[in-house]
């Protein structure tokens, strides 16, 4: 592989990802870009490709600033809603606590009609 072929491939990948590089600056993962380049240039020297890539990125973005040296902000994790404790709902239904059981949509928790008849307490002499 000639250096001109490597520079052409690096230039094409940087042109595709120019917006992402401008937004994330030096926090962008260059290994992903390096992987895209090495897929197109199978027999190129990896160290030479990496050197050209880093030089092109530095030429595009300029020298690192204070903001680039700070670690990126972590995104907060989204917690899943709590699951309904079906055992407590079935116990409340069996004991006849209608107010607690009704708040959990009992009929959606009962899989079949015989199951609903076993669990649900109906009015009666018993």
Site of tokens 């606590």? 97
Q: How far is CA 63 from the centre of its chain?
A: 31
**Mean of the pLDDT values across residues 99-121?**
57
Looking at residue 79, its pLDDT comes to: 83
- Give the helix ranges, DSSP H, for 1-126: 3-16, 18-24, 30-40, 46-61, 66-69, 86-95, 98-102, 106-109, 113-119
Query: Where in the chain are the domains?
Result: 3-69, 86-119
pLDDT in tens, 60-102: 999 988 988 898 888 888 887 766 556 655 555 565 555 444 4
From residue 14, how far is each of 11, 33, 103 by CA, in Å? 5, 8, 56
3.50.50.60, 1.10.10.2420, 1.10.3720.10, 3.40.50.300: CATH of 3-69: 1.10.10.2420
| Backbone phi, psi, residue 18, to 5° | -60, -40
Site of tokens 């870009």? 33
């Amino acid at each position: 592989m000639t250096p001109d072929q490597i520079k052409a491939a690096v230039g094409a990948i940087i042109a595709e990802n120019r917006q992402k590089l401008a937004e994330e600056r030096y926090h962008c993962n260059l290994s992903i870009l390096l992987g895209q380049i090495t897929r197109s240039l199978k027999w190129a020297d990896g160290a030479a490709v990496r050197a050209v890539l880093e030089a092109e990125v530095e030429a595009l973005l300029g020298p690192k600033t204070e903001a680039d040296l700070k670690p990126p902000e972590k995104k907060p994790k989204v917690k899943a809603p709590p699951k309904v404790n079906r055992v407590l709902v079935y116990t409340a239904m069996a004991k006849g606590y209608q107010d607690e059981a009704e708040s959990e949509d009992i009929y959606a928790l009962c899989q079949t009609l015989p199951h609903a008849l076993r669990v649900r307490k109906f009015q009666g002499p018993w």
